[in-house]
Structure 1
Amino acid sequence: MTRRIQFRARPSTRDLRHELFHALGPPGRPPSHAIGFDRMLRGALEEPRVLVCDEAQWLSKLCFEYPRHLWDGTASDLTIVFTGGNGCFEMLQSEPMLESRVHARQEVGRTPLDEVLTVIPAFPPVWAEVDPDLIAVCDQEVAHGNFRAWAKITHHLTTGLRRHPLIDHGAGLLEQGS
């Protein structure tokens, strides 16, 4: 099961604790003291999980250390993925205890058009029947090989199709927006 956690810019460790509590859904109310809260979160993280911290460049050094603190105290196969823009990797490197646990760094660049034309129709079903030329135009004009941009386009497309269900396969909706 996947739960999305969103933080405001520069969240505190208290914010992280509460967002994790609500995402993991343990019974009861959030503990009032940090030690009890951490113990409860470690228990909730004992089954194998992947914790994705998106926009990690917004985390303070203390907040970068907090998931590592949970990881060190968890008896499971917890995997933590930090994703982010400018400054994310530099922040990881500045924290030796965290950086020493980084198993892989992956920089994701633009996806070439031939891959876009293969992946986009196969990934979100809404694109399965759309003309490849229209997908290429969307990539050239808006997405530029960026999957975050494709996610936004797909979200807008599916929202538009819910509002206008008579438009077939999204092509008509995309052409209307041009």
Structure 2
Amino acid sequence: MGLPGEPPGRPIEFDTVLKSALARGFHVLVCDEAQWMSRECFEYWRYLWDDPSTDIAVVFAGGDGCAKVLRREPMLASRIYIWQHAVPLTLPEVLKAIPAFHPLWAGVDRDLTALVDKQAAHGNFRAWARITKLAADGLAAQGRTSVDEHLLRQVYGRLGVGT
């Protein structure tokens, strides 16, 4: 959020700084792994959302059981506008999204991209992000610029994925 200076040491001071920043314009706050949040954490999210001076949207993302955990908090659940279940990308979606996601994939043959999805990513965007990071690191370390099967075997080895 680009807040200047050191964070305040006391919770009440931090709360004031945070709410002031959230009041300056619209913000989207993302809470990943929401299924692990405590009741007190959910109450704080609700408190920020309910404050008339803040202009925020909160996105709760999580794995198995996340919706169940969120629904256990009725004061929070009643404020959730959309419940969205994420499903893996289809192959046509992968072939469109992944080259747009990162320039590393822009010039890669569609058949090789499809093979990576079949062997390691399975339509999972988080898996694609991990593969992309490892591939980019591998290319940089080797002074190379393009993805090929040799590099992908190295990436798969780091992921513990067989080919």
- TM-score normalised by structure 2 residue count: 0.86
Cα pair distance change 1:174/1:28, threshold 3 Å: closer
Q: Distance in 2 between matches of 1:174 and 1:109?
A: 25
Q: 2:22 aligns with which of 45, 52, 73?
A: 45
| Percent pairwise identity | 48
Q: How many residues align?
A: 154
Q: Distance in 1 between matches of 2:98 and 2:52?
A: 37
Q: Distance in 2 between matches of 1:69 and 1:165?
A: 50
Equivalent residue, structure 2, for 1:146? 124
Equivalent residue, structure 2, for 1:62? 40
Cα distance per residue 1:67-118 (max 9 Å; x no partner): 1111112523211111000121111111111111101111111111111111
After the TM superposition, which of the residue ranges 34-43 and 84-93 deviates more from structure 2? 34-43
Q: 2:3 aligns with which of 13, 25, 37?
A: 25
For the aligned residue pairs, the C-alpha RMSD in angstroms reads 1.8
Q: Distance in 2 between matches of 1:129 and 1:71?
A: 43
Q: Distance in 2 between matches of 1:116 and 1:100?
A: 34
After superposition, residues 1-150 of structure 1 pair within 5 angstroms as 24-32=2-10, 34-46=11-23, 47-150=25-128
Where does structure 2 lack aligned partners over 5 or more consecutive residues?
156-162
Where does structure 1 lack aligned partners over 5 or more consecutive residues?
1-22
